[in-house]
Structure 1
């Protein structure tokens, strides 16, 4: 199971917040600190990433930059 920056286990459906400004590769978009993502998707085979929905697009974020709410 992937863990957030504080060591809490993340599960599909959890709500997380970004703890650091992150540039999104391939675009000019930046995710700001404090942005909230609901209903994350956890892949059982990926230990350090989760999928989140940002509008119509899906982003894959490293869990070291997320905090469970």
Structure 2
């Protein structure tokens, strides 16, 4: 059996081989990353992802821009924000546009 450095694991309060602790931490990080991913669904239940194209399902007044986006408007290349109800997108003439997922349908 090869000699392995032992390190103190603060979570368990035990000394363990460094390779075993590294594997344990890697598994913990993967579990945390899986918990951090948020599913964003459109108005009809389709799963949305970064880069998707969506279509508006109703007219939306854009606060601060003095414009109304009409039903059927195509929004290209959306980005997920981490909030299950919001998507970040770009539209000509409107900076920082954030739409609620309930008002869009995946194209």
Normalized against structure 1, the TM-score is what?
0.91
For 2:54 and 2:48, the matched residues in 1 are separated by 9
List runs of 5+ in structure 2 lacking aligned partners: 1-38
TM superposition shift of 1:25: 1.1
For 1:9 and 1:68, the matched residues in 2 are separated by 8
Alignment RMSD (CA, Å) = 1.0
2:59 aligned residue: 21
Q: Which has the higher helix share?
A: 2
Q: Specify which structure has the bigger relative contact order, considering alpha-carbon pairs within 8 angstroms and separated by 6 or more residues.
A: 1
TM superposition shift of 1:26: 2.0
- Deviant stretches of 4+, over 2 Å: none
List runs of 5+ in structure 1 lacking aligned partners: none
Larger of the two Rg values belongs to structure: 2
